[in-house]
Structure 1
């Protein structure tokens, strides 16, 4: 039985789609694609900014130490919700590490993983990231809740949510650094 040209093309397409959606090669391709299409996050217009009023957000790090967002009220806060199984999340991690390296002493960074602790620990060690990772141990304040990953918020000292970004973004850009510098003044 000889296959027709269209049948061969269909088989090839099915194989490529299978590779893309169901293999580690596909995951890496999705990460790479997300890095290519990452954009600069855009600040929320001042008149549309929400205010974080509920700072009661309990978190725990991988060592079991607790922290509450309320301890950082009055700080510039950078919150990133992510997971190891999320290609856009993994795609923005190198930029987030660079931003953390530059601002980790000045800005409160909370990288909140919606994933299993063991997977997160293995991922962080494998990639040699030293980001401060936390896990939710209480309810997420309504203003910060999003089912989409990654979701990132930048909160100014007064509690205004000045950036609310969903999806992969170029976090180590000059525009983000300028924004943080302005918020820190």
Structure 2
């Protein structure tokens, strides 16, 4: 299997980005649901403690994935239609914007932040409202929109798989 993309299927690196991000997104939403439905439990503490560090990992993977997609743009399988193109652009935008807003909010709060023992920024006295407020307003709301978009993405994969065998897109990403 080739590392780079081809017209009929995605390469190993594109599939690695896709499926590793899918697992991390599933983990993140499991943690969010635990926070909403089982607050102050061991389950919530376990998942929620990983939310911010894994958000950083997702941001890095999203940026790498976006760069890799642009490098492979002329080689990768074509989109089925304009709706698919816009849907994928929307997913990429959300996958960058949500963790970026979380980091912006964290920095603006004045609290230090480290991910997996690596200090990303140190804390300071005070708060920078113009950094905190966009994150407060958008981070969670865009997260729920991402969940809906991911569910729609999965639904459309199976829709094409069952409805029109000529547009079965799953093998292109499955392997």
Flag whether TM exceeds 0.5 (same fold).
Answer: no
What band does the TM-score fall into relative to the shorter chain? under 0.3
More strand, by proportion: 1
Normalising by the residue count of structure 2, what TM-score does the alignment of the two structures yield?
A: 0.26
Normalising by the residue count of structure 1, what TM-score does the alignment of the two structures yield?
A: 0.25
More helix, by proportion: 2
Structure with the bigger RCO (C-alpha within 8 Å, sep 6+) is: 1
